[in-house]
Amino acid sequence: MVRSIEGKNLAYYEAIFQLRKVSPEVILFAREKIEKAGVHIAKEVRNKNGLDFYLSDNNFARALGKRLQEKFGGECTITASIFGRKSGKEIYRLTVLFRGISFQKGDIVEYLGSNYKVKLLGKDIFLQEVKIGKKVHVKYKDMDSVNLVS
């Protein structure tokens, strides 16, 4: 049986917001933003690599993924699939995947055999070589080749 309050279907969702390999700080930040915006969480599923929120607003889910990327750095991937049709118009359901990284701005990392300082985390990872100051942009899809130096 599907629960409802004031005629709203509580199981309804437009987006799956997936958090993978993130710190508790990122989860707390995401949960606070969801609650502050008043977006309904239809369900929450924990798995071994993270957490999934089933959200009632796909535009909010898209914006939250971008906000997490700007604040914490990481990879944000957004995919859409056709869920159905309503009044002759296609209805899409989004999946927003945010994958965290193991380093942050100011950390020293190894990339291609050299040490770099993390200067900026945004759409790309911006690194500056420690010895000669060479600057490099690394795509998040290549972030597995960037390792935190302890």
Domain ranges of the chain: 4-99, 108-148
Q: What is the pLDDT of residue 150?
A: 66
Q: How far apart (Å, rounded) are the C-alpha atoms in residues 95 and 45? A: 14
Block means of pLDDT (10 residues each) for the chain, 150 residues, are 50 92 93 95 92 95 93 89 81 91 88 92 88 91 83
Asked whether the beta carbons of 118 and 103 are under 8 A apart, the reply is: yes
Which residue bears the tokens 């945004």? 122
Q: What is the pLDDT of residue 124?
A: 85
- Non-local CB neighbours of 56 within 8 Å, separated by 6+ positions: 12, 13, 14, 39, 40, 41, 42
